[in-house]
Structure 1
Amino acid sequence: MSSRNQSYVVYLLLFVAIIAMVMYSFNQRSTTSEVSINQLAEDIKNQRVTKIEEDDNRLKITYKDLSEALSTKEPSATLVEQLLNLGVTQEQLHPERIKIIIKPPSAWVGVLTALGYILPFLILIGAFFFIFRQAQGSNNAAMSFGKSRARMFTGDHPTVTFADVAGVEEAKEELKEVVEFLREPQKFIQLGARIPKGVLLVGPPGTGKTLLAKAVSGEAGVPFFSISGSEFVEMFVGVGASRVRDLFDQAKRHSPCIVFVDEIDAVGRQRGAGLGGSHDEREQTLNQMLVEMDGFDTDTNIIIMAATNRPDILDPALLRPGRFDRRVVLDRPDVRGREAILKVHVKGKPLEPNVDLSVLARATPGFVGADLENLVNEAAILAARRNKKSISQAEFEEAIERVIAGPERKSRLISDEEKRIIAYHEAGHAVVMNALPDHDPVQKVTIIARGMAGGYTIALPTEDRTIIPRKKLIAQMVGLLGGRAAEEIVFDDITSGAGNDIERVTQIARTMVTRLGMSREMGPMVYGQKEELIFLGREISEQRDYSEAVAEQIDAEVRRLVNEAYQQARQILIEYRDKLDAVAQRLLEVETISREEFERIFPPPVPKRSGVPAMAANN
């Protein structure tokens, strides 16, 4: 409860207490009989009264029978004078007969009388003041509605520097010029050079775009304004444009500085594609941003940095020279980059001597910086759960599997028959992958359930590659279909365990035909143009630029590629049926087979070639 609400409650309780006291006093008075001053004089004459207490013209009368009554005298004369005027004698008022007590006037009488007149006015003034404050707060909220919500970080005590960013050496080299300009702008200005006004950081999620922007601010030691693109856009038209103006005004006041707009695609989408027309709030905000970026002078010393993982949907006016005229690409790190990132994240963590980060880097192809940070954190959690004082290689290796496939489901109970089907399914994957010269080597086979998978087979490449040959894609398809082929050969039946494998195989085959031009029948052409429906979230529609006849040919070619891959997987398993049985039997015994043990059972028929990002076939 807020302090304001608490004060309201206190005032309410105080008011209730006052009302209760007044009502109690009223009830007390109402239970005592009221007599006139004449009756009091008669009672005194009849010697029935023993004591009279006077309190500010109010009389409290006590009779010989111990009963009490109340009366009131005139304020212009004393009690004795009034009684004498009513026929009471001095002898009847003698102290031995009647005890008369006269209390002095209370100091609160005047105060209470004044309060009776002043309190209503105070209550009225307080009500007006409360209403005024409420209206003023509403006006302040309305006036600040168009203010920028950017958070400013001073560069006095940087928390992130280039030393905290690894695996993106080329991007750091590009941004060192920005840092040098912010430190020594005259070095560039005196040569007539103009530093880029805007730097666009492009890369997949988790590659460190936001971290790199903070590192630039930390290295330069200048203020850093951080805001998300979605914070500009509101329901009311014009609010986003007002916030953009306010943000750039703040930046000019704190120049030199860095303005970082995260997820700029939320406001920088290509114009003319929405349903709102030119008065659309998002387009108004983008227009204002374009104008503000053009308004910078060469001596403003403000660098605009923005991050996005979808540069293809940004408006061309935003990317032209003079605005975001430098693009820094942060790609997925290679094996050396992953090792450097792991070194950054293991700082301050106790590691056992057997931990080899180079092995972990080779075992995590395709991982980005966020994945590797999560990997190290999962390993630390596992070590703590096992009551260890340091993290060993075993925790890191298990953490890799947790990141790829999810946690183990040891409590899952399955029948012996289902366990046998899963063992042959995974053995089918492993044997087919090992028999193909173009497939990556098998690293691990297990029938322990993880995540949604009942078992899985992991094949990792020996080195990173940026392009994928057609033979390798075919080998991946054949390896993925090895599980279904093993089920059919051994059990003369098929199960739903190959659903994910078949989905991935179909996707690879269709991509080869329609996107990569790897079909001999369809030729080196791209079929269909993908369009994003902006107002439907991430839904993607495909604009067909081919006829129904071509669509039938595409379907037939995809079907041919998948069927040929399946037949090749069957032939391999029939040829190496003894190896299939041996691997499956070993899985039923120990549940998990490492690469060394697998190759003792089934040595690779031919030397393996280099590979591409990891493929994990799961049941």
Structure 2
Amino acid sequence: MSPESPVVRNPWWQALVFVVLLALGYQLMDHVERPPSFTYTDFREALAAGKVREVSVSPERISGTLAPETEGGEPKPFSVVRVEDADLTRELVAHKVKVTGTLPGSPWLRLGLLLLPLGLIFLLTRVKTSAGGPGGYMSVGRSKAKVYVEKSIPVRFSDVAGVDEARAELQEVIEFLRSPERFSRMGGKVPKGILLVGPPGTGKTLLAKAVAGEANVPFFSMSGSEFVEMFVGIGAARVRDLFAQARQKAPCIIFIDELDALGKVRATGPNAHEEREQTLNQLLVELDGFDPRVGVILMAATNRAEILDPALLRAGRFDRHVLVDRPDRAGRLAILKVHARKTPLEDEKDLEFVAAMTVGAVGADLANILNEAVLLAVRRQKEKVGRAELEEAVERVVAGPERRNRVLSPAERERVAHHEMGHALASVLLAAGQTVKKISIIPRGIGALGYTLQLPTEDRYLMTRGELEARIAVLLGGRVAEELVYGEVSTGAQDDLLKATDIARSMVKGYGMSDSLGPVTFDLERRSPLYDGSVGGSRGDYSEELARRIDQEIRGLLDSQHARVTRVLNERIDLLRAGAAQLLAREVMSGEELAALVAGAETPDESREAA
């Protein structure tokens, strides 16, 4: 609330309002007439019988008292609605009834009493609105941005790890905000808009706060969904108000989180959203209008850059696109060290083990893993977090918590053991670059009756056709093991089939890995407009005949890998049964135990099949 509004801040004003409302309520209660106690006919009968002592006549009502029914009793009050009766006055005089009257009330007075509460409410609302207080009806067009001043942003670059490339991209922004005259002296201009693009949980919002903290400037934070309301024009008004506030506090940073909620591609026809598009148009105008030398920098974050409007991404608006990608092994280790500053560890080298196990994890995942490890250590009444807690925390986040209360029948446990052993053997025998860390038939998560934890030997950014085919084979290994042992399949392979089909579809439609169709991609809907401005096509961009051939290629790819893993497991059916028996006895098998089991079953002249 601003200091220019002492009316709301002073307590005497609140006391005055309370007294006025109390007096008004008393006056209204005083003017409320008592409801009729009987009818006008009953009143005339009582008057004829001499029971009426005195009356008070008003334009609308007759009220008074009746004689008591017994000796020494109290007079009985009454009230009736007045009816036009010319003989009433004569009858009252004849029965010697004491008569008093009231003047008719002014209609303007009644109207004033009715409008006075509304006027007080309107006055209080306007005073609150002029003071900038929340809840005023005139404040709906004001920006809802959370403003963090210099001292309220404790985040620095030392708190952000695993995004070294993004930090380097944003370093010159910090230098501009610290000393803009160095750039303006040479005619240089800082980018108007900086778009942080990356998967969820990679630290885009944290990185924007770190930039504001390092530059020591005010930070305006707002979500893209907060601009759009049900009232027409509110979003555009909030955009104007946000930039007006930012100019007053320049140099500063405006940060819009989840930009895709506001900057989605504008549509035409019945699918158009007029309010959201007007808000986007106002944002585009503001980006064109403000002078970059003022020192207002717009930063935004999104994980769906492919649906953003091309006009928002052109040069002169969001000039710079910074990729905040998933961290590599060194980045994951740095992130774990940041989150483990206040966590006592038995051995700090255990963090390297976690970083190796969590390929593809983002910063939010790593923070969750470390927190789960702390909770496990506290539950076990330990003073420090050890490797056992960290390893179990990784499994808990990846596969879900153990559900030992779910009791499977012996037949189901045996089938699950063969299923998981089929995955494990297929991974050891076919999937180069993948190691089996653990096999378990303990139910976990929502629907997993068992799981096989596989870890890549190193971070990979490219996958060959052979490696993708090997992954399909490993996914089909559980279903094939059930076919070989039981002669039929169960519903346990549903998730495996979904993942295998998705890989095969991506190979045929997206990666051009089909010999029959050639090096052509048909996955047009995944094309991103981030750099070329194209929106992408649809599934109808090719003929029905070509769609049929694509389906045949996907089916052929799955069938070939099914036949491959069937041949491999059928040749080692005894190893499959022995491994399942050992898994049934222990419920859990480590990767080292599996490797020893496979090595003991292989003869010296047998060689491992290439993936």
TM range (shorter): 0.7 to 0.9
Question: d(CA) in 1 for partners of 2:459 and 2:339?
Answer: 22
Match of 1:499? 494
Cross-structure match for 2:334: 340
**Of 543, 550, 559, which aligns to 2:546?**
550
Matched, 1:564 2:551: no
Aligned position for 2:6: none
Of 215, 224, 228, the residue aligned with 1:233 is 228
Correspondences of 1:13-28 after superposition (within 5 Å): none
- 1:583 is matched with 579
1:24-45 per-position Cα deviation (integer Å, ceiling 9, x unaligned): xxxxxxxxxxxx9xxxxxxxxx
Give the structure 1 partner of residue 525 of structure 2. 530
Where 2:181 maps in the other structure, the secondary structure is helix
Deviation at 1:297, TM superposition (A): 1.6
| Residue 236 (structure 1) shift | 2.5
Deviation >6 Å, runs of 4+: 67-70, 121-127, 604-609
What is the correspondence of 1:194-233 to structure 2 with a 5 Å cutoff? 194-233=189-228
- What residue in structure 2 maps to residue 151 of structure 1? 146
Contact 1:438 1:471 in 2 (8 A): no
Instruction: Work out whether 1:328 is the aligned partner of 2:322.
Output: yes
Aligned counterparts of 1:354 and 1:69: Cα–Cα separation in 2: 93
- Find out whether 1:353 has 2:340 as its counterpart: no
Match of 1:94 in 2: none
Looking at structure 1, the residues matched to 257 and 121 of structure 2 have their Cα atoms a distance apart, in angstroms, of 35
CA offsets 1:589-613 (integer angstroms, 9 cap, x no match): 111111111111113987899x9xx
Deviation at 1:529, TM superposition (A): 3.0
Distance change (3 Å), C-alpha of 1:274 and 1:362: farther
1:132 corresponds to 2:126: no
Shift of 1:68: 12
Q: Secondary structure at the match of 1:388?
A: coil
> In structure 1, what is the Cα distance between the partners aligned to 2:430 and 2:228?
53
Distance in 1 separating the partners of 2:331 and 2:175: 25
Aligned-pair CA distance for 1:580:
1.1
Residues 79-94 of structure 1 correspond to what in structure 2 (within 5 A)? none
CA contact under 8 A between 1:222 and 1:258: conserved in structure 2?
Answer: yes
Question: Equivalent residue for 2:513?
Answer: 518
Matched residues in 1 for 2:473 and 2:319: separation? Answer: 45
Q: Tell me, in whole angstroms, the C-alpha distance in 1 between the residues paired with 2:238 and 2:302.
A: 20
Partner of 1:411: 405
1:371 is aligned, of 345, 360, 365, to 365
Distance in 1 separating the partners of 2:125 and 2:575: 77
Give the Å deviation of 1:489. Answer: 0.8
Q: Which whole-Å CA distance do the structure 2 matches of 1:405 and 1:606 have between them?
A: 33
- Shift of the 354–221 alpha-carbon distance from structure 1 to 2, 3 Å rule, reads closer
Q: How far has the Cα of 1:11 moved from its partner?
A: 6.3
Displacement, 1:386?
A: 1.8
CA distance in structure 1 between the aligned counterparts of 2:361 and 2:448, rounded to whole angstroms: 20
Tell me if structure 2 keeps the 8 A contact 1:434–1:442: yes
Per the TM alignment, residue 393 of structure 1 is displaced from its structure 2 partner at its CA by 1.1
Query: TM (normalized to structure 2)?
Result: 0.77
Instruction: Kindly provide the CA deviation profile for residues 82-132 of structure 1, in whole angstroms up to 9, marking residues without a partner as x.
Output: xxxxxxxxxxxxxxxxxxxxxxxxxxxxxxxxxxxxxxx999988654322
Is contact 2:476–2:496 with CA below 8 Å preserved after alignment?
A: yes
Which of the pair has more CA radius of gyration? 1
Gaps of 5+ in 1: 24-35, 37-66, 71-120, 533-539, 612-619
1:396 aligns with 2:390: yes
Structure 2 distance, partners of 1:137, 1:526, is 64
Relative to 1, partners in 2 of residues 1:134 and 1:69: Cα closer, same or farther, differing over 3 Å? closer
2:301 pairs with 275, 297, 307, which one?
Answer: 307
- Distance in 2 (alpha carbons) for counterparts of 1:133 and 1:526: 68
Give the 5 Å matches for 1:103-114. Answer: none
| Separation (CA, whole Å) in 1 of partners of 2:405 and 2:170 | 50
Separation of aligned partners in 2, 1:551 and 1:506: 16
**Which amino acid is the alignment partner of residue 498 of structure 1?**
A
SS of the aligned residue for 1:460 comes to: strand
Change (3 A) 1:608 1:186: farther
SS of equivalent residue, structure 2 residue 293: coil
For 2:74 and 2:477, locate their aligned partners in 1 and report how far apart those are by CA, in whole Å: 109
Q: 1:50-89 counterparts in 2 under 5 A?
A: none
Question: 1:274 and 1:462, CA in 2 relative to 1: closer, same or farther beyond 3 A?
Answer: farther
Identify if the C-alpha distance between structure 1 residues 608 and 399 changes in structure 2 by more than 3 Å, giving closer, same or farther. Answer: farther
Matched, 1:168 2:163: yes
Please give the per-residue CA displacement for 1:457-489, whole angstroms capped at 9, x wherever unaligned.
Answer: 111101101111100010001111111111111
Amino acid corresponding to residue 585 of structure 2 in structure 1 = E
TM-score after normalising by structure 1: 0.76
1:413–1:271 CA distance, 2 compared to 1 (3 A): same
Distance 1:358 1:306, change over 3 A: same
| CA shift for structure 1 position 308 | 0.7
Contact 1:158 1:219 in 2 (8 A): no
- CA drift of 1:521 comes to 1.1
Letter in 2 for 1:389: E
In structure 2, give the amino acid aligned to 1:564: S
Q: Summarize the Cα distance change of 1:575–1:348 in structure 2 as closer, same or farther, 3 Å threshold.
A: same
Matched, 1:600 2:596: yes
Map of 1:484 onto structure 2: 479
1:243–1:595: structure 2 CA closer, same or farther, 3 Å change rule?
same
- C-alpha distance in structure 2 between counterparts of 1:142 and 1:68, whole Å: 58
AA matched with 2:436? V
Correspondence for 2:91: none
1:182 is paired with a residue of what secondary structure?
helix
Aligned counterparts of 2:293 and 2:428: Cα–Cα separation in 1: 63
CA 128–198 in structure 1, closer or farther in 2 if over 3 Å, else same? same
- Cα separation, partners in 2 of 1:325 and 1:545, compared to 1, 3 Å: same
Select which of 263, 273, 276 maps to 2:258: 263
Aligned residue identity for 2:570: I
- The 1-side partners of 2:590 and 2:215 are apart by 49
Letter in 2 for 1:503: L
For residues 244 and 607 of structure 1, do their structure 2 counterparts lie closer, same or farther at Cα, with a shift above 3 Å needed? Answer: farther
Provide closer, same or farther for how the CA distance between residues 293 and 562 of structure 1 changes in structure 2, counting only shifts above 3 A: same
Per-residue CA deviation, residues 318-374 of structure 1 (Å, 9 max, x unaligned), is: 112221101110111000000000001111112113751111101000100111111
Q: Percent identity?
A: 49
How far is 1:134 from its partner?
A: 2.3
Q: Could you tell me how far apart the structure 1 residues matched to 2:511 and 2:463 are?
A: 10
1:571 partner amino acid? R
How far does the alpha carbon of each residue in 1:503-542 deviate from its partner, in whole angstroms, 9 at most, with x for none?
111111111111111011111112253289xxxxxxx994
List runs of 5+ in structure 2 lacking aligned partners: 1-13, 35-52, 54-71, 76-107, 130-135, 528-535
Task: Identify the residue that residue 186 of structure 2 maps to in structure 1.
Answer: 191
Task: Spell out, residue by residue over 1:558-586, the C-alpha distance to the aligned partner (whole angstroms, 9 max, x if none).
Answer: 11111111111111111122221221111
Give the whole-Å Cα distance in 2 for the aligned partners of 1:251 and 1:187.
22
Name 2:133's counterpart in structure 1.
none
Alignment RMSD: 3.5
Aligned partner of 1:382 among 376, 382, 392: 376
Counterpart of 1:511, as a letter, is S
TM-superposed CA distance for 1:391, in Å, is: 1.3
Q: Distance in 2 between matches of 1:339 and 1:163?
A: 14
